[in-house]
Amino acid sequence: MSHPVVIRTTVHIDGNTQIRLPVIFTKQGILKSYLDYSIYNMHMSQSWLDASVRSVCLLVEFVEFNEAYYKNPSDLFKAFADKLFTGTVNRDGVDSTGLRWSKKSIQSANKTISYITQYSDWLCKNKGMDNNVNLNPWRAATNHEERLNWAAYSHKHSNAFLGHTWSHKSAIEMNKLSRNVRYKQDDRATDIDYAAKRFPDEHINDLLFKGFVKPCSLPCGPAYTRLELRDILITILIHFGGLRRSEPFHLWIDDVTPHPEDPEDALVTVFHPEIGHSPCFYTKGRLEIREETLAKNFNMKPRTKYESSKKIHAGWKNNKLSSMKGNFMVVHWFEPSAGKEFLFYWRLYLAKQYVKPNKKRPHPFAFTNKNGDPYSIDAFERKHRNAVKRIGLVADKDLGTTPHGHRYAYINRLEEANVSQLYIANAAHHKSAKSQDDYKSKSPKEIRAELCRLEKNVRTSLTFEHKDETDE
């Protein structure tokens, strides 16, 4: 049996441009059309490139063993899509394809279909191919499909910030068409139940101060000898600041400062890893984005641009950034008192546990490993899993006891405190049509004041154990 192989290699675009891209090798050699497609999309995120190449590899694998059974590309792609939803093994355990695929979830299969459809559309457009040879060609929609098209269009139109600029005439034409292979409807509830997958608030103190402990440390020793301060700080950011698990790993040392309104509170600004503005310390007062600073000062790329298989990689969602210049998000503490605790342990971390980067491998990132290199998400997740087990819990995403569960807990506490949906959207840096307009957006100062006012409404209050550490 022959399977496609993906190898990441450096591709020379021209005399001055080099980029690492995934290359698909089949038994006939390099899949040149997909290499061209990857070069065309080289500015897409690593997660997009990875998902796209995985999807195309599945198709190539299916084609290798089933091409002879189908007369045209659209029939083959329809059969491929069916196998994504059903798997290739029948009830009797027989697999005529020899692929032994298990069925995918509706969401995963729909995404695979989408990535391949985009690839096929690009081929038709750029290689002068007719719609008839498109893997997922357009055809006339049935009455039922046209109604579904209008329902989907209406939903997108009502939630689009620039929906008023859309052409109704074009919509009429497009909604009369349908893809030969349509996405399956996912009947699961679309509303996120933040309470179901949240980290249990009643265990957060134990996790921080009994879970993240150093091996063989004395229980009566000062905090910096007993506790893994780096992991505590990251956990405070995701549990009380609502950050996604990857976002603390983009922080630079300069991104944490005392709050101008309260010097004992932490102001944490998470800059966009590529287009966020760099601190003046590195630029001598010149305006410069972080991608440029990393390249010039450290011979590095933003962590988003490394391959997902690399330890240094950290993802980034399309978050709502602050309306102020600089392209950053402000961390909004809830409960607000957590900002003071964060600043205390941040100062202790810098003084006692922060490992400076190796002079041969300099970097600006705030969280480092024992060698002074940027701390990895995988390493933190291992520490978090061990800390959860240490306090007697089971590490499981469905139980909310993985790093994902802390953001759910943050949003759920906001809901329990009767914070309005507008403030929640802004505090969690969500993008939506309803909060996109300038007059609806709340400034960091307004959000801070509202969360402080509502702190007394939360179900549990968290206690910290540090007051004897200030003179250490």
pLDDT digits (tens, 9 = 90+) for 20-29: 888 999 888 8
Question: For the residues 356-377, what does the mean pLDDT come to?
Answer: 97
CA 363 from centre of chain: 22
What pLDDT was estimated at residue 436? Answer: 31
Confidence of residue 301 (pLDDT cuts 50, 70, 90): very high
The topology (CATH level 3) of 201-469 is hpI Integrase; Chain A (1.10.443)
Three-class SS of residue 55? Answer: helix
Contact present, 314 and 273 (Cβ < 8 Å): yes
Domain range summary for the chain, segments of one domain joined by +: 5-136, 138-188, 201-469
What is the percent of the chain with per-residue pLDDT over 70, rounded to a whole number?
A: 87
What pLDDT was estimated at residue 239? Answer: 97
What's the rounded Cα separation, in Å, for the pair 99 and 2? 10
Question: For the residues 56-73, what does the mean pLDDT come to?
Answer: 84
Contact present, 385 and 394 (Cβ < 8 Å): no
What pLDDT was estimated at residue 195? Answer: 60
The answer to whether residue 69 scores a pLDDT higher than 90 is: no
The answer to whether residue 149 scores a pLDDT higher than 90 is: no
Tell me which range, 14-18, 389-393, 412-416, 463-467, is most confidently predicted by mean pLDDT.
389-393
What pLDDT was estimated at residue 422? Answer: 84
Q: What's the pLDDT tens digit per position in 160-201?
A: 555 566 777 777 777 787 888 888 876 554 455 556 689 999
Average pLDDT of the chain is 85
Tokens of 238: 């995701």
What pLDDT was estimated at residue 267? Answer: 97
User: b/e for 450-462, b at 16 or more Cβ within 10 A?
Assistant: bbeebbeebeeeb
262 vs 166, residue with greater confidence = 262
What pLDDT was estimated at residue 252? Answer: 98
The answer to whether residue 52 scores a pLDDT higher than 90 is: yes
What's the rounded Cα separation, in Å, for the pair 22 and 307? 10
What pLDDT was estimated at residue 433? Answer: 39
Tell me which range, 57-66, 107-116, 182-191, is most confidently predicted by mean pLDDT.
107-116
What pLDDT was estimated at residue 18? Answer: 80
67 vs 99, residue with greater confidence = 99
Q: Name the β-bridge partners of 26.
A: 29
Tokens of 6: 């993906």
Three-class SS of residue 457? Answer: helix
What pLDDT was estimated at residue 230? Answer: 98
Q: Is this model's pTM higher than 0.75 or not?
A: no
Close Cβ partners of 364 (under 8 Å, ≥ 6 residues apart) = 252, 253, 254, 282, 293, 294, 297, 298
What pLDDT was estimated at residue 17? Answer: 76
DSSP letter at 322 equals P
Lowest average pLDDT, out of 46-55, 292-301, 339-348, goes to 46-55
